[in-house]
Structure 1
Amino acid sequence: MMGLMVSEETRTMTPPTVRSPAAHDAGKPGGASTRAWTMRLLVLGIVLSALNLRPAITSLGALLEEVRDGLGMSGSVAGLLTSVPPLCFAVFGVMAPRLARRFGAGAVVCAGMAAIATGLLVRPYAGGTAGFLAGSALALMGVAVSNVLMPVIVKHWFPDRVGSMTGLYSMALALGTALAAAVTVPLTDTLGGSWQTGLALWSGLAVAAVLPWLPFVRGRVTPPGAGEEAAGSTQTRGPASASVSAEHARGEAPRLRMARSRTAWALAVFFGLQATAAYITMGWMAQIFRDAGVPAGTAGLLLAVTMVMGVPLAFVIPRLATRLPHQGPIVLALGVCGLAGYSGLYLAPAAGAWAWAVLLGVANCAFPLALTMVGMRARTGPGVAQLSAFAQSTGYLISIPGPLLVGVLYQHSGGWGLPIALMSALMVPQMVVGFLAGRDRTVEDEAAR
């Protein structure tokens, strides 16, 4: 799942035009050399940014028990803390395109990395639960806007290498996710055992990610022109499409009533339920293993295994999905892996820990599948953009209560039986709505009715 989280939390949208000083220098003496260095700097910035998009979450999951003890945090409040990421993604991610149009995508990503660095540095030393939550929200705000804008920058600067750059970005994101889960506990022990130090050290990686973006802070972002594309579309399509193209020529996208589409709703609920499972896993899985007697360092490695499963499967699943007319069988296969993993956590969490970690990692790859289906369930570019915005914004709102409810059940039941039962129960409707969303239909046809 996390291997393609790059898009888990990004909206599909028409990329703005990103202009940098290097673009103006391309025709001048030495311009080619400047352009080459600009591209290298962009690649470095993209990779470093991707590495920073999940450590704020998975480093906390590895040290959640120490944080709870240190702040006197109840299970319910800890559940609230693990619900903060989807809340921030839903609230702040929507703001990213508007901020990019005003200040420039490079400037917003740079500010996002700075927000991550500041939030990660401040939150362990804020002096209480409220301050810790505020610092986490600041860091996750930076994650949210960067999530949305990074693929836009990739698409503009590397139009002929979108696949390879997205793969590089996805692998870096998965690596950062797994790395924070795997090494936070050992590094904390090495640095004296202070959980504050163990969490704050990840701010250094975010500071490093700020530097490559500084030359792009003064870049300008303007809406793209669509006149030529609209004219070409009008010649090859019927009257209805000609009307759509005319709207593009005026810089407008035809509005679809997504609430009328059953497929759009199925995708939104599927997206929300898979995000619920992902954030419960990132926030609580290490604690489940630790409570079962697994050492803290090993529990972090198990979480890392779950996260890193997204690297290979993020490439395989979308390619397989696009070759099938109905993606329902893939949804069901991933769901069965999830149910098997949760059953193992319930029956023998320590004895089969590595197997359960792998199975849940496979199940979490419902995320790249959801994004692939968004692209397949709409016929036009504007339709994909509107469906993506609807599915993701609605889905993130749906995912907010899940981690909180797990914390409440854990606190009041005194064990993991009820929380794991809840996770298993949520997998069933996820399989149902995912199967419905996988049918070969388009939201344009359903919205028109």
Structure 2
Amino acid sequence: MASEETRTMTPPTVRSPAAHGAGKPGGAATRAWTMRLLVLGIVLSALNLRPAITSLGALLEEVRDGLGMSGSVAGLLTSVPPLCFAVFGVMAPRLARRFGAGAVVCAGMAAIATGLLVRPYAGGTAGFLAGSALALMGIAVSNVLMPVIVKHWFPDRVGSMTGLYSMALALGTALAAAVTVPLTDTLGGSWQTGLALWAGLAVAAVLPWLPFVRGRATPPGAGEGAAEAPQTQSPAAPSAEHARGETPRLRMARSRTAWALAVFFGLQATAAYITMGWMAQIFRDAGVPAGTAGLLLAVTMVMGVPLAFVIPRLATRLPHQGPIVLALGVCGLAGYAGLYLAPAAGAWAWALLLGVANCAFPLALTMVGMRARTGPGVAQLSAFAQSTGYLISIPGPLLVGVLYQHSGGWGLPIALMSALMIPQMVVGFLAGRDRTVEDEAAR
């Protein structure tokens, strides 16, 4: 059953520094402190996984005017996040094996801070794209490693911990959408300042991971003795078994479940990045003031705060997650219909419905943890599903920009969004079946 899969424990030879010292004086206190610090690091990291995108969405018109962008180039800009997630996300498991997942996430947060601080002042569109790519590289590796860390360190609480960091992710997304415009106005009206201020949040996220930077995965060929040397492995590092290469690499490209999950991830990411990049502009073009449009985008994002905690917990209790996928898809179709028929008159209702539909993201992350039995399996499935999924999502935001520029309105882009929701529901239903990629590899 799916609930049993989420409770799969790590091999007994894998021991954290805190667990190794649990029987010693002060060992329990050390373990408790370590786990609290790890939870804090997960939450702060999740808060930083979307402000780079939604803060730009709130100020997209100002950035376009300041940099002289056309609608097509702005569409390219909104396609950069999934491109970076696809390219850099696939590197995350290898980096985690080499340096430890905690060290990689710490470096990722530092890259986010640097990219957010640099991109508004880099000068020109090319410099802005380069700074954005640096920040998005940090987001990409952290995206992939969050399910791995949760599966490895909270194997009996996959649903609740996935819900916690999904909730923090949604909160950071909504916060950036809601306050970027008001803060920009308060700080003098410069869009450069409005975008750069989010670097401070990323700097704060670096701090909890610093104690884990020194850890390394056990080197290949170190033997069993290496597993008994806990001082060489950080609390967020991969298991010693995985680091030694004893876990065979799964052929994800031959797994129907992995492909269904990857396509589902890609289509929900397409919808999410179109929403984050363009929804505020849709409302502004319908006559909604810029500040209100930012709040509407924030409402869409903030719906993920409570639902991102509830949906993963519900998903882990169901043998099949398909019904949740269908319910979220129906909300998305209703929201798109409202954007087409009465974007300004029913703006708050459409924002709420699309916010519910966007909760396909925490559901997809939860299914990543449920469709593999082991930590290494989750790492491979997470990298495959996210990298492949983000590749699939690249054309969507760009195509929306092109359709918007050449049609002069939002009818065709909204029709595209609605059409993509149908296959998302189909593949999500297939990905929700109660099976694992290890079982498919064995067959």
TM-score, scaled to structure 1: 0.83
Distance 2:155 2:284 in 1: 45
Distance 2:261 2:354 in 1: 21
Q: Bigger shift: 27-36 or 41-50?
A: 27-36
Deviations for 1:135-174, whole angstroms, at most 9, x for unmatched residues?
A: 0000111111222334444555556666554443333222
Task: Tell me if the contact between 1:15 and 1:153 (Cα under 8 Å) persists in the aligned partners.
Answer: no
Deviations for 1:74-118, whole angstroms, at most 9, x for unmatched residues?
A: 111111111111111111122222223333333322221211111
Task: Tell me if the contact between 1:6 and 1:170 (Cα under 8 Å) persists in the aligned partners.
Answer: no
Task: Tell me if the contact between 2:214 and 2:234 (Cα under 8 Å) persists in the aligned partners.
Answer: no
SS in 2 for 1:220: coil
Q: Bigger shift: 213-222 or 15-24?
A: 15-24
Distance 2:275 2:91 in 1: 27
- Pick closer, same or farther for the CA change 1:355–1:6 going to 2, 3 Å: farther
Q: Please report how far the alpha carbon of residue 196 of structure 1 lies from its aligned counterpart in structure 2 after TM superposition.
A: 0.6
Name stretches of at least 5 consecutive residues in structure 2 with no aligned partner: none
Distance 2:59 2:4 in 1: 24
Distance 2:75 2:21 in 1: 51
Q: Please report how far the alpha carbon of residue 378 of structure 1 lies from its aligned counterpart in structure 2 after TM superposition.
A: 5.0
Q: How does 1:371-386 map to 2 (within 5 A)?
A: 371-377=365-371, 384-386=378-380
Q: Please report how far the alpha carbon of residue 365 of structure 1 lies from its aligned counterpart in structure 2 after TM superposition.
A: 1.5
Task: Tell me if the contact between 1:112 and 1:146 (Cα under 8 Å) persists in the aligned partners.
Answer: yes
Q: Please report how far the alpha carbon of residue 295 of structure 1 lies from its aligned counterpart in structure 2 after TM superposition.
A: 1.1
Q: How many residues align?
A: 443
Task: Tell me if the contact between 2:220 and 2:243 (Cα under 8 Å) persists in the aligned partners.
Answer: no
Deviations for 1:254-305, whole angstroms, at most 9, x for unmatched residues?
A: 4444444444333222221111101111111111111111111111111111
Task: Tell me if the contact between 1:309 and 1:362 (Cα under 8 Å) persists in the aligned partners.
Answer: yes
Distance 1:112 1:241 in 2: 15
Q: Bigger shift: 80-89 or 437-446?
A: 437-446
- Pick closer, same or farther for the CA change 1:124–1:347 going to 2, 3 Å: same
- Pick closer, same or farther for the CA change 1:36–1:385 going to 2, 3 Å: closer
Task: Tell me if the contact between 1:283 and 1:403 (Cα under 8 Å) persists in the aligned partners.
Answer: yes
SS in 2 for 1:395: helix
Q: Bigger shift: 12-21 or 102-111?
A: 12-21
Task: Tell me if the contact between 1:14 and 1:385 (Cα under 8 Å) persists in the aligned partners.
Answer: no
Q: How does 1:267-416 map to 2 (within 5 A)?
A: 267-377=261-371, 384-416=378-410
Distance 2:235 2:17 in 1: 42
Q: Please report how far the alpha carbon of residue 437 of structure 1 lies from its aligned counterpart in structure 2 after TM superposition.
A: 3.1
Q: Bigger shift: 154-163 or 251-260?
A: 154-163
Q: Bigger shift: 335-344 or 325-334?
A: 325-334
Q: How does 1:226-305 map to 2 (within 5 A)?
A: 251-305=245-299
SS in 2 for 1:241: coil
- Pick closer, same or farther for the CA change 1:11–1:430 going to 2, 3 Å: farther
Distance 1:374 1:325 in 2: 14
- Pick closer, same or farther for the CA change 1:210–1:370 going to 2, 3 Å: closer
Task: Tell me if the contact between 2:167 and 2:308 (Cα under 8 Å) persists in the aligned partners.
Answer: no
- Pick closer, same or farther for the CA change 1:249–1:306 going to 2, 3 Å: closer
Q: Bigger shift: 319-328 or 284-293?
A: 319-328
- Pick closer, same or farther for the CA change 1:19–1:141 going to 2, 3 Å: farther
Task: Tell me if the contact between 2:268 and 2:360 (Cα under 8 Å) persists in the aligned partners.
Answer: yes
Q: Does 1:429 align with 2:423?
A: yes
- Pick closer, same or farther for the CA change 1:237–1:299 going to 2, 3 Å: closer
Number of the residue aligned with 1:447: 441
Distance 1:272 1:225 in 2: 37
SS in 1 for 2:135: helix
Q: Please report how far the alpha carbon of residue 182 of structure 1 lies from its aligned counterpart in structure 2 after TM superposition.
A: 0.3
Q: Please report how far the alpha carbon of residue 389 of structure 1 lies from its aligned counterpart in structure 2 after TM superposition.
A: 3.4
Q: Bigger shift: 231-240 or 117-126?
A: 231-240
SS in 1 for 2:238: helix
Name stretches of at least 5 consecutive residues in structure 1 with no aligned partner: none
SS in 2 for 1:221: coil
Q: Bigger shift: 165-174 or 285-294?
A: 165-174
Distance 1:84 1:306 in 2: 21
Task: Tell me if the contact between 1:318 and 1:369 (Cα under 8 Å) persists in the aligned partners.
Answer: yes
Distance 1:206 1:240 in 2: 19
Deviations for 1:193-246, whole angstroms, at most 9, x for unmatched residues?
A: 111110011111212222333333322233799999999999999999999xx9
Instruction: Give % identity.
Output: 96
Q: Bigger shift: 126-135 or 331-340?
A: 331-340
- Pick closer, same or farther for the CA change 1:237–1:261 going to 2, 3 Å: farther
Q: Bigger shift: 164-173 or 356-365?
A: 164-173
Distance 1:240 1:71 in 2: 41
- Pick closer, same or farther for the CA change 1:240–1:233 going to 2, 3 Å: farther
